[in-house]
Structures are given as C-alpha cells and as structure tokens.
Chains A and B, each alone.
Chain A
C-alpha cells in the first residue's frame, strides 16, 4: 500500500494551542499532512509550521504566491527559526462554522538532503477577503523529520479542527521501468 494514515488529531471542546505529530517513523518516502482548521477566539491569523520541535535553528526559508480575494501578492522569507507564515487560518472575522484547509507535502522527509515542502492553503469566507496560496518551503537541514507541529499565530485552534498525517511509500514499486543518463 503506497499511502498509509500514520495518525489523526481532532481538536476537542477546549481547543488546542498546537497540533503535533511526533516520533514519526522513517519508514516512508514522503509525508503529507492535511489539516482543517479555524482559530477559536481571534481574527484570521497566520498558519505556522514547526519541524522537529526546533524553534532555534534559523534554517527555514519560504516563497509564496497568494490571492487575498481582491489582490495577489508574493512574499519571501529566509533564515527564520520556523515557518511563521504558510498562509492563513480563518478566525472569528470569517463566516461561522467555516474552516480553512491546508495540504503540506514533504518529499524524502527522512533522506540525507535538505527538506523541501510544498504547501497549498486556502481559507473560506462568504465575503471578499478569502485567502488562498501556494508556498515553497525549505528547511536547510539534512536530518530526518521526526516531528511536525502546526499552530495558528496567537491563538488556539477551535473545536472540530483536525489534522491527519499520511506516509507515502515508494518501496516495492512495480509497473514501469526506469532509466537515467
């Protein structure tokens, strides 16, 4: 089986400051983290990702392409201690009961090269301001990824927020032949 659910977190009535997956096994090839989130008590905030519980190594960089509902923008950041901006999480200023979605894909997460991430992130809102974007991320570190934490800037995720971590494996591949030159 190429794709396996590793773990799932569903936020309960008290909300959750962060959602963390730890002790991620190195037995897969890629990781995909799919989240559905909303901030419980404040307006729309930044969607953030911390790798390996590391908030001290300034090895993260990112580049974005976003639509805000009324404009486009492209931002970049480098040498930061974690991914402080990978899109938006909808908050109390958006349509009630409406959650944003994000997909974070990390190829070769346990390999011996730098770690790159592909993030697609959307919010939803029955108004003009609804963010969506794609994000390129880099963690310039060759260590395996063993933990992922997502958080919403400044506040907790609301009840019914959820996150699911999948492992994608390329072992026992059969169905095509390969060549390289």
Chain B
C-alpha cells in the first residue's frame, strides 16, 4: 500500500463563536501544509493570518478577485498580517470557504510563501499569494477576525502534505 501524501494534523470545530483560531506545535515532518475551512462569520468582517505569533510588518500579499461585476487586483506590502480577502469582506453567514497553502513551510533558508483561495458567493471569488519575510520554520498559524467571530459549526482543518 502506498504511503498517503496528505495527513490530517489537527481540526478545530467551533462549538461557539470565536474570533481567533490557532494551530501550534506544528510537526515539521511534512513538505507543505494546507488549511481548509467552511468558515461562517457572525458579521461582515475581514479575516487575517499571522505566523509564529509574529505581529511585525513582515507580511506581503497580492490577490486577484471577481466581485460579480469586475476583476480586481490588490497588493499589500510590509503589513502586520496577511489579509485573506480583498475589498469585499466575508459575509455574515455560512457562505464562504477558505483554502490556504503553505509551501516548504519547514525550510530554514527561505522566506515562506503560499497561495490562498477564498470564496464568498455574495462577495468575491479570489485567489492570492502571500509571503512572510522570515526564514524561520512555521510552527504556528493564527487565523482571526478583529471585528467579528467565526460562527459555531465552522471547521478549520490543518493537513500536512508529504513530497
């Protein structure tokens, strides 16, 4: 039997509204990581990400999105977090999903980069890239909203991908 290339590392299933979820003590045994969520928000809100508890201005991101009327491109540099949405925020319901990829996350010799797909049907279909300007291995990931909460029933799962 072939070895599975994808392994579930941890799951967060919210039983009540929470504004922050964190995966920590992440095993360094894989090549890449993926986070998948069916996230629902209690109110319209942006969703952000920080790595290893780093709150400094090391985050860069660019994205393309469709808002139902036009295509939009955005760029942010030297920010305190990765913003996982463009001009349209996550809506106040279960109508979004989020997939974030972390490539070569445990390497100690390169900045960390990744991709994300975010879908909010009343907001945007969006694809983006991000970079955390640090050569440290990723050991924790925090996803949060500063103005709203993730609804009960929201599930975040962290997967490890073996090369």
Contact = CB atoms under 8 A, between A and B. Distances in A.
Interface of A: 1-3, 29-30, 61-66, 72-76, 78, 105, 107-108, 111-114, 116-118, 120, 133-138, 140, 168-181
15 contacts: A61-B122, A64-B68, A73-B71, A107-B97, A108-B38, A114-B93, A133-B125, A135-B125, A136-B124, A170-B157, A171-B8, A173-B157, A175-B160, A176-B23, A176-B27
B94 A176 contact: no
Nearest to A168: B6
A105 B38 contact: no
Chain A interface SS verdict (over half): strand
B7 interface: yes
Contact of B38 (A63, A107, A177): A107
Given A76-B68, A116-B94, A171-B8, A2 B159 contact: yes
A152 B11 CA distance: 36
B4 A1 contact: yes
Main secondary structure of the interface of B (DSSP, over half): strand
A114 B95 contact: yes
Contact of A178 (B21, B38, B127): B21
Contacts of A63: 66-68, 119-125
B94 A113 contact: yes
What is the interface residue range for chain B against chain A?
35 or more
Given A173-B8, A173-B157, A137 B93 contact: no
A134 B8 contact: no
B9 interface: yes
